[in-house]
Amino acid sequence: AALNRFIQAMPKAELHIHIEGSLEPELIFELARRNQVKLPYASVEDLRAAYAFTNLQSFLDIYYAGASVLLHEADFFDMAWAYFLRAKADNVVHAELFFDPQTHTDRGVPFAAVIDGLRRACDRARNELGIQAELILCFLRHLSEEAAFTTLQQARPHRDKFVGVGLDSSEVGHPPEKFQRVFAAARELGLRAVAHAGEEGPPQYIWDALDLLQVQRIDHGVQALRDPVLVQRLREQRIPLTVCPLSNIKLCVFGDLAQHNIGELLRQGLVATINSDDPAYFGGYMNQNFVETFDALQLGAAEAITLARNSFEASFATHADKARYA
Ligand code: ES4
Ligand code: ZN
C-alpha cells in the first residue's frame, strides 16, 4: 500500500496513449446521442461486453467502431479533456497523445476539426492542469503509402500543432519499409518519429523501424528480447521502449502479468517506460498499469523511480522540462 501511494504521487510522463482509445463507453453513447450516430450496441453494458479480445485485430475492429461517434471539433476536445482530467489524477505531468486522423477523415470529418479540437484540449491542459501536452500524428499502417502521404499533406498547414509522426494499427503484414518514404518526408519537416514495432511483430520490424524509418522511440517493442543483438543496440543507443502492460495482457501478447517481460527489459538496462495505450479498452490508466504490473512482478520503489526517470528521458519535452524531473 505504501508502494502504491508512492507510485500514485510520483510525477510521470505518458508517451503511448491513443487518444481515441481513451473514449469511455459512457462518452461513446453520449456522443452518439449528441451526433445522432447509430451504434451497433444497445447499451453501455452491451458495448463493454464486446471488450473481449484475442489479438490486436479483434480489438481494432471495436476501437474503430467506437471512434465513429466523433464528428465535430467539440467531440475531439471533449474526448481529450476527459483524458487529461484522468491523467491529472494519476500525476501525469507530461503527455504525448497519438491520434489517427485517417480514422476520421475517411468518414468525411475535416482534418482541421480533429487537430483543432485536440490541440485546444492540450493548451487548456497546460494552462489549467499543469500538464505539458503534445500530439503525435499516427499513420494507419493497414492503409496505403499513398494514403499516408495524403494525410501528411493535409497536416502541413497545421505543422505547429503536433511534434511528430507515428505508425499504428495492424502490425503483422505491414512492415516499416512500406512507410520509409513518408517518414523521410515527415523528418524533412522537422517532425520527430516513433513507430509501433515488436508488439505482435518480429524483432526485424524493430530493426527496420530504427534503420528505415529512423524513429527515436519504439512503441511496445516487447518482442526485442527474442534478439540479443537487438537488445544490445537498444541498450547502447538508449532507444526507449513505450511498453503497455495491461494492453499486452488484454491482446494476449502475454498470458498474464506475471509472465510480462518488463522486469527483464529493465534488468537488461533498456530504457523501458510504462504507458496505458488504450485505457478505456484495456482496463486502466497509468497508475493502474503501474500498480498491477508491480504487484504481479514484485517490483519495488527502485524500479518505479527508474520507470519515471525513463519516461522523461524518452519524452519529447524541452530540455528545461526534462531537467525539472531528472
Ligand atoms: C493500438 Cl495496442 C495498438 N496497437 C497498434 N495500433 C493501435 N491503435 C490503437 N491501439
Ligand atoms: Zn499503441
Q: Which of helix, strand or coil describes residue 273? A: strand
Report CA(170)–ligand 1 centroid distance (Å).
8
Report CA(248)–ligand 1 centroid distance (Å).
10
Ligand 1 pocket test, pick from 22, 60, 141 with the greatest ligand atom count within 8 Å of Cβ, gives 60
Ligand number with the minimum distance to the CA of 170: 1
Report CA(304)–ligand 2 centroid distance (Å).
21
278 annotated binding-site participant: yes
Q: Is the CB of 247 under 6 A from ligand 1?
A: yes
**Rama region for 254: left / alpha / beta (φ>0; ψ in -120 to 50; rest):** beta
Which residue CA neighbors atom 7 of ligand 1 most closely?
169
Q: Is the CB of 200 under 6 A from ligand 1?
A: no
Q: Are strands 272-274 and 132-140 parallel, antiparallel or unpaired?
A: unpaired
What is d(CA 286, CA 4) in angstroms, rounded to the nearest whole number? 12
Which residue CA neighbors atom 1 of ligand 1 most closely?
169
pTM of the predicted model as reported, rounded to 2 decimal places: 0.98
Nearest of 199, 188, 131, 132 to residue 165 by alpha carbon: 188
Alpha helix stretches (DSSP H) within the chain: 2-9, 25-35, 44-49, 56-66, 73-89, 101-105, 111-124, 145-155, 180-188, 203-211, 228-236, 245-250, 262-267, 279-282, 286-297, 301-314, 319-325
Report CA(281)–ligand 1 centroid distance (Å).
11
Q: Is the CB of 56 under 6 A from ligand 1?
A: yes
Q: What is the pLDDT of residue 326?
A: 80
Which residue CA neighbors atom 3 of ligand 1 most closely?
169
Domains and CATH numbers, the chain: 2-325 (3.20.20.140)
From the list 14, 24, 171, 199, the catalytic residue is 199
277 annotated binding-site participant: yes
- Active-site residue, 199 included: yes
Q: What is the pLDDT of residue 10?
A: 98
Nearest of 284, 286, 278, 285 to residue 307 by alpha carbon: 286
Ligand 1 pocket test, pick from 79, 100, 168 with the greatest ligand atom count within 8 Å of Cβ, gives 168
Per residue of the chain (326 residues), give pLDDT as tens: 899 999 999 999 999 999 999 999 999 999 999 999 999 999 999 999 999 999 999 999 999 999 999 999 999 999 999 999 999 999 999 999 999 999 999 999 999 999 999 999 999 999 999 999 999 999 999 999 999 999 999 999 999 999 999 999 999 999 999 999 999 999 999 999 999 999 999 999 999 999 999 999 999 999 999 999 999 999 999 999 999 999 999 999 999 999 999 999 999 999 999 999 999 999 999 999 999 999 999 999 999 999 999 999 999 999 998 999 88
Q: What is the pLDDT of residue 80?
A: 99
Q: Which of helix, strand or coil describes residue 196? A: strand
Report CA(293)–ligand 2 centroid distance (Å).
18
